[in-house]
Structure 1
C-alpha cells in the first residue's frame, strides 16, 4: 500500500527558549505550522493547473504558475518535518519512551487508517474516471478495485496501487520517524544529551546554515537520482535521508538555546542564500531544452541549488518566526486545533470540487476560486463536525475532550498530531 502522490504530530509544544510563547507554548512553531498547511491548500489547488502530474487536472494549463510553485517545492515539507520533530521532543520530555510510542500510535494511526479507507478513496475513484475512463459506480470501484490490494488500471501508462494513502503519506512518515528515531532516543537520555551537545557544537554558529545544507545537497546528489521520491515508505531512500534528517534536527536540537540563537542571528543570510538558490533553479529551468533529457552537469547544479534552498529557506523561516512572532489569541488556538483535520480532508475536497466544476467550462480564475471556496467550506464543516462528535475526534486527529461543559464544543488540549504537510504532488 503506497502513495499515489509524487511529492506532501505532536503536541504543539511547551515553551523552549525565547521566541513567541504563551502559557508555555511555542507560538512561533504554531504559526509556522499553520502557515505551512495554509500554503499546502493553495499548492494543491495549483497542481490542477500546472503541467505536473496530479490525480485529476483542470482543462486549463497555467504555465506561468510554475515558478510560483517552484518557490516552495524544496522546503515546504522539510519545514513541517522539522517542526514535527521539535514538538515530538517536547512530548518526550513529559512521558516515558513507551508512553511516547503509545501516544504516537494512538494519535496518528486512527486518522491514517480512516484516511486510507474513507477519505482517500474518492480521490482514486475520480483519478480512475478521468485517466482510465472508468464508468462504474463508486461502490463498485471501492469493492472491485480499491480493496484489490494490488496494481489497478495499468493500461493508462501508470498503475494505481490500491489502496493508497495519497497525501496522507506524511502522517505515515511522521509515525515511522517517531517510532524509529524519537522513541529510541527518548529511551536513551544519555545518548540524546550527547547528540544534543554535538549538534549544538556544530550548529551553534554559522554551522546552522552550513552543515544541514551540505547534508541535504549531498543527499540530493547521491540518492535522489537513484530513488526519486515515491512516498511508498519502503523504497523512498532519498526522502528518508532528507526528511529524516530535518526531523532528527528538530527532535535533537529543539531545546538548544545556542542553535535557536544562531537561527535568529543568521536569518538574513539564510534568506539571501535561499533566494539565490531559487534564482538558480529558475535559470536552470529556463536553460533546459523542452523534450531533451537534462545532462549530468545540469542535474548536479539543480540538485545543489535545491539542497541549499531546502535548508536555507527553512532556517530563515525559523529564525524570523523565533525573533518576531509573539501574537497569541483565540485565532491561533482555533487554527492550531483545526490544522490537522483540515490537512486530512483538504485534498479530497479539492479533487471533488475540481471534477465537479470541469464540465462547466469556467475561466481558470473563476474555477480556481470556486475550488478554493469549496475546499474551505468542506474542511471547515468537517472540522466543526469532528470536534463536536466524540467518535469522530480521534479519526480526525483531535485530542479527546477534557473538562468540557455539556453542549459546548471543546478547544481540546492542543495536541495536533501532524505538525507539518504536505503533500505536494510533484
Structure 2
C-alpha cells in the first residue's frame, strides 16, 4: 500500500473535532465537569453518548496507525526503534508539560471559583482562596477541597490523551527494538485479523475487558491506577499499529461498513436508553447491567469499524484543507478545553439567551483554536509547545501526521 492514507488523516481530524464539540457539550449536561452551566440541558445526554464510548479509543487507534508509518520510515532509513522513541518524546513531551503548567491552570482556576461559590463564597476570585493561584497550583499547595474531595495539581485534565500516548509509544518502541519482535507481531496480526477476524477478535477483546476490568477499575486518567482504560486505549493503539498497512483489513472494513454502522446505532440506542432510564440514583437490575456491557461494546466496535470502513471508501483525497487541518488539529486539541471553559464560565454570567450563549461558546472556542495554531506555526522550535513542528506547514503533504 501507499504511505498516503488520507482516510486516516480525515478520521483523525474528525475525531478531534468531535472531541472539541463534546467538551463544549459537557458544560451543559448535568455531569460533573470543571465548570457547569446553571441552565443544564438534560436531553443532550443521549446525544453526548453517541460518541462517548469510542471517540478517544478511535484516536488511540489512529495514533497507532500513525506510529506504524513513522516506525516504518525510520526502519527504511536504517534507524532502530529507539529513533521512534526519541521522535515521539520530542513530539509529545513539550506540549504535555507546557499544557500542564500554562494551558490547563485556567481550567483549575474556574473550577475552584465555581466550587467556592457553591460553598457560599460571594467573590472567591478576590479572596484568599485564590491568592497566588498559579504558584499554589504548580507546587501542589492549593489545598482546594470540598465535599467531593480535593483538587490535585498540577494536572493534565484533557491532555491525558498525550500523557498516555507518550508511554504507549515508548513501550512500542522498546518492543520493536528487540530483534524479531516486530516481525513476529506483524506476522501474528496478519493471521489473527484476516477476514472476519478484524471484527470478531476486537469485539471479544472489548467485551472481556468490559466484563472483567471495567467493574473493578474506574477510569481515572491518573496513569498509575487506570487499568481498564489502559487495556482499552493501549489495545486500540497496538491494534492500529498492527493493521495500518493491511490491504485485506482495509477491504474488509469497506465491505462491512453498513452492517457495522447498524450495529453501532443499535448499540447506542440500547446504551443511551438504559442510561436515560437509570440516570440519577436509580439502580438497574444486575442482569440488565451485565447485558449492557455487551451492548456498550457493540456501540464501540460498530461505530469504529463503520468510521474506518466509510473513511477507507470515501476519504481518499488530500488537498489544502486536509493539509491545514492535519497539522492544526493537534494545537486545536491542546488549547480547546481551556478556551471553552473560560468562555463558558464568563458568558454564563451575562445570562444571554441559552441558544446564543451556546453558539458563542462554540464560536469563541473555534476562533481560539485557530489563533493558537496560527501563532504556533510561526514560532519555529517554540511551536513544539503547542504541538507544531518547525516548518510543519511547509511539509504537510505527508499522511497521518500525529
Partners in 2 of 1:280 and 1:418 — Cα distance? 35
> SS in structure 2 opposite 1:93?
helix
Query: Which structure is higher in RCO with an 8 Å CA cutoff and minimum separation 6?
Result: 1
Gaps of 5+ in 2: 75-79, 118-123
> SS in structure 2 opposite 1:161?
coil
1:16-415, aligned counterparts within 5 Å?
A: 16=1, 24-95=3-74, 96-133=80-117, 134-136=124-126, 140-144=132-136, 146-149=137-140, 152-180=143-171, 182-188=172-178, 190-288=180-278, 290-401=280-391, 410-413=393-396
Higher deviation after alignment, 223-232 or 319-328: 319-328
> SS in structure 2 opposite 1:43?
helix
Contact map agreement 1:34 1:335 (CA 8 A) in 2: yes
TM-score of the aligned structures, taking structure 2 as reference length = 0.92
Shift of 1:340: 0.3
Partners in 2 of 1:151 and 1:139 — Cα distance? 9
Partners in 1 of 2:279 and 2:62 — Cα distance? 38
Aligned residues: 389
> SS in structure 1 opposite 2:43?
helix
Q: 1:287 to 1:348 in 2, by over 3 A?
A: closer
> SS in structure 1 opposite 2:125?
coil
Partners in 1 of 2:92 and 2:328 — Cα distance? 15
Shift of 1:338: 0.4
- Root-mean-square deviation over aligned CA pairs: 2.0
| 1:340-395 deviation digits (Å, cap 9, x = unpaired) | 01100100000010111111111221111001111111111111111112243110
Higher deviation after alignment, 349-358 or 155-164: 155-164
Shift of 1:308: 1.9
TM-score of the aligned structures, taking structure 1 as reference length = 0.87
| 1:8-27 deviation digits (Å, cap 9, x = unpaired) | xxxxxxxx45xxxxxx4210
| 1:378-424 deviation digits (Å, cap 9, x = unpaired) | 1111111111122431101111127xxxxxxx4345689984xxxxx
Q: 1:68 to 1:38 in 2, by over 3 A?
A: same
Contact map agreement 1:75 1:313 (CA 8 A) in 2: yes
Partners in 1 of 2:307 and 2:355 — Cα distance? 30
Higher deviation after alignment, 251-260 or 43-52: 251-260
Gaps of 5+ in 1: 1-15, 18-23, 403-409, 420-426
